[in-house]
Chains A and B, each alone.
Chain A
């Protein structure tokens, strides 16, 4: 041990990559949890293939998991890995473009054989030379498969079962490389395999052998130490992904409002996890209906809302398109409804497992008629809890559909989450009908906020007929009167506009005295603030960030803030959708754009580079 050098790092990016059956997600998750428990900030991102089980060893079957750990604030899963673990040549090939100079490459020598090279499309038997990385990357060859086999030789398992544990060997090795005590990893395994003692015993054995292998090998590379973060506020934490955080945000809102939670939904990548999570939460009284299609998903939710539940539907872009008409009904009937759109690559089926922010205009305007709805977006995996909660609060208190945009990147990615207490969350007070309303009818509304009163079947004295036809402002009866229609259109818009009175002001991050303002929204927050923090470390640079979570309505001070800056650039993962919204609402500002539609998040590096150009 003594002769092994230890290098201290502020942050490091590790990527595990292998066949989809190699257990890379589990390995990555365990390592992330381990790091978080030791006090690191973390952010992770899994990268699944869209095929469920592509042929073994092929490029299409490569599954990856990246984790970024640090001793300071960590906002993103990182761009390119400092340490890459690959289980076969295909995984090497898939990740070849992202290998940085001096990065560490751990690979399973046993899989680096002729058959593997051929499947991965290598032309020679030296893939490192073929990729031109043999001198730039630190190679750590480890016979993962055979060492796992010898580790488990006395267990009497089938070879197939044995090899499934080789991810534990790599985890053990990485634990050694990063000076992680393996006791905690063993504790995790006990939780996971507690009911299967054979498997637990085997995995612990392989994990320990992997750790000791590193310890005894006196590898020429140094080990690393990433100290615990001192920037994380004190408290109890866990690691959570965006879809789970969204689901729990809805549950918390229902509890806070004293309502039953109903979700109507239809399976769609990458949103299905929300339905699955909520279907598992019967202990919380959640009613989940897996509908026959996207339309029934939302319309059953509208029915539940009419009947007095906190109702939600979860989907992705193609599903949101199918739900358009029903969202219009919720606008017209002025019913509370939360619509979660976990955005993916489009148009049409597009890139189902990849990430984009291309549904913004669909969420804003994708309906017939003048049909204003609230649109908001979460900024990080843990943020999804807060914004799902707030989406529910706004829907219930303002009697409107609310579209919450998340995306594939934050829905599957994880971050640290400071655990909430229900008592500490904001109150939710649905705008229920009450006995003091004079001449109650379906359209009776609060005179100040214009919010319609919610009267629920089963309660005497509030029977009413709601519907999608235009209604008379005063009586609630069907009306085709021209002036009344204008009044109703204006009222529905005013109701949404009034919500801005409850929204937090737009805040500036980075350097508020900058000339250059970067604007972003939703899940790009981590990449944008990381790039801006790095740039602002150079005293010649001054960059400000205005990041939006509320898009319709916008925070009240939006124009006032943006108009202060000389140069404004809107960065988003689409062709300029938010920029066009801002142009339509804020005058006197030239909105520059930086866009990418590759199905991938921004990288911090490309943002740094582009913003640097704008600073010149």
Chain B
């Protein structure tokens, strides 16, 4: 069999679409993310056969069936560990892991934090709709406290996880966020995730029309969105708003929204986003901003470099091999204390 066959070739999103009928509910946010992903896969230029999509269980985890790459729809929560195995076994592959808020942060929480800690070079799309969809409407680890679901008829009494906090707490090197309906930002963020070497975590805010419709409504409405989100780009000023007249500054230890042109504030006063800063303080502050006082941060919030697990495993083996006299299995046998009978 041939080795990897990636060549410089132009791909289109069609090259990454499978012949399977997509079976998400009409209006589901997952469709938009799938389309954005296929666009990004084409833009990346990695051949379908060198691309692997791994998923666990849940609505979003059906995604591998809809891409024409190699795919593996596995078991609940274990996608991160399986994706790690794939990437370590063959680091030349481009590995995407598709997961949801339940799959990734409840049953798969342990694998999630450890894949982030190891910094294995996989691209993780967490479809966060704040609900269990496939099991028909129970609350998830990201469901807002007090929310009424089938398993919380009087409202949840649990405090939700915030994926950014978990990622950075697990020493994550990349965190991005996108919104299903904002295709431009979604594609930009996924592409940055794919280009990042290491575990790239992308929180995809998706809408579940059936069990949690409007969970992200505050930022989903097109007319008001520009005033309610800020799309972060490394090296650019943190300016947002329909009229590009709002910005973020530091006030004491906290971020504050200001209007450019008011109270003597000029563009030069607005913070510049540094996604490459190893310190997580500012990234955490940006990722945890909430409305209505603050805009929701979208795009690439954190993107720092560190050695990846799959590279480290390979290079250690190469180092040991280079020094060792044991080259073959028979050499290995020869190292044993042995005698003739």
Contact surface of A with B, Cβ cutoff 8 Å: 33, 36-37, 39, 188, 191, 228-229, 232-240, 248, 251-252, 255, 260, 262, 264, 281-287, 289, 291-293, 295-296, 299-309, 311, 325-326, 328-329, 333, 419-422, 432, 456-469, 477-478
Which residues of chain B have C-beta atoms less than 8 A from A307's C-beta?
52, 85-86, 89-90, 93
Q: Could you tell me if B313 and A287 are in contact, using CB atoms closer than 8 angstroms?
A: yes
- Report if A262-B85 is in contact (Cβ < 8 Å); known contacts: A296-B78, A468-B73: yes
Neighbour of A303 across the interface among B85, B328, B329, CB < 8 A: B85
Task: Report Cα–Cα, A234/B83, bound state, in Å.
Answer: 48
Quote the shortest CB–CB distance from A502 to chain B (angstroms).
23
Q: Please report the C-alpha to C-alpha distance between residue A462 and residue B262 in the assembled complex, in whole angstroms.
A: 61
Tell me, yes or no, whether B2 is within 8 Å of chain A by CB.
yes
CA distance A251 to B84 in the complex (A): 21
Complexed CA–CA distance, A477 and B64 (Å) = 12
Answer whether residue B3 sits at the interface, using C-beta atoms and an 8 A cutoff. Answer: yes
Proximity string of chain B (323-341) to chain A, C-beta cutoff 8 Å, 1 when within and 0 when not: 0101111101100111111
Tell me if A284 and B326 are in contact (CB < 8 A): yes
Q: CB-CB contacts of B59-91 with A at 8 A, as 1s and 0s?
A: 000001100111111110010011111111110
Q: Determine if B81 and A309 form an interchain contact, defined as CB atoms under 8 angstroms apart.
A: no
Docked-complex contact B65 and A478, CB < 8 angstroms: yes
Q: Is the CB of A463 within 8 A of B69?
A: yes
Which one of B47, B328, B337, B341 has the highest number of Cβ atoms from chain A below 10 Å of its Cβ?
Answer: B341
Chain B residues closer than 8 Å to A284, beta-carbon distance: 326, 329, 332
A251 to B332, CA, bound (A): 10
B21 to chain A, nearest CB (A): 9
Q: Say which residue of B18, B81, B327, B336 sits within 8 Å of A291 (CB atoms).
A: B81
**A329 lies within 8 A of B114 (CB):** no
| Complex interface: chain A residues within 8 A of B89 (CB) | 260, 262, 287, 303-304, 307-309, 311
Contact size range, B: 35 or more
A33 contacts which chain B residues (CB < 8 A)?
A: 337
Bound-complex Cα distance A304 to B86 (A): 5
Question: Contact check: which of A295, A333, A465, A467 meets B18 at CB < 8 Å?
Answer: A465
Distance (whole angstroms) from the CB of A389 to the closest CB of chain B: 11
Nearest A residue to B317 by beta-carbon distance?
A: A282
Given contacts A251-B332, A422-B329, contact A301 B68 (CB under 8 A): no
- B70 contact set on A, CB distance < 8 A: 457, 463-465
Q: Report yes or no: A36 in contact with B339, Cβ–Cβ below 8 A.
A: yes
The number of residue pairs between A and B whose CB atoms lie closer than 8 Å in the complex comes to 205
Task: Name the B residues within 8 Å of A311 (CB-CB).
Answer: 85, 89
A264-B85, A325-B75, A463-B70 given; name 12 further pairs at CB < 8 Å.
A239-B337, A262-B88, A292-B110, A296-B84, A299-B81, A303-B82, A303-B85, A307-B93, A458-B90, A465-B18, A467-B74, A468-B73
A465 near B64 with CB under 8 A, answer yes
Question: Given the complex of chains A and B, what is the CA–CA distance between A478 and B114 in angstroms?
Answer: 31
CB distance from B202 to the nearest CB of A (A): 20
**A235 contacts B341, C-beta separation under 8 Å:** yes
Flag whether B5 is at the interface (Cβ < 8 A): yes
Chain B hits for A299, CB < 8 A: 74-75, 78, 81-82, 85, 111
Query: When the two chains form their complex, are residues B341 and A234 in contact, meaning their CB atoms are under 8 A apart?
Result: yes
A309 to chain B, nearest CB (A): 4
B220 in the interface, Cβ–Cβ < 8 Å? no
A296 near B317 (CB under 8 angstroms)? no
The answer to whether B64 touches A300, judged by C-beta atoms less than 8 angstroms apart, is no
Q: Do A300 and B82 touch across chains, with their CB atoms under 8 A apart?
A: yes
**A329 nearest CB neighbor, chain B only:** B75
Chain A: minimal CB distance from B70 (Å): 4
Contacts A292-B111, A469-B73 given; does A458 touch B92 at CB 8 Å = yes
A237-B338, A465-B65 known; A292 and B54 CB under 8 Å? Answer: no
From residue A281, how far is it (CB to closest CB) to chain B in Å?
A: 8
Check B73–A466 contact: CB distance below 8 A.
yes
Cα separation A36 to B339 with both chains bound (whole Å): 9
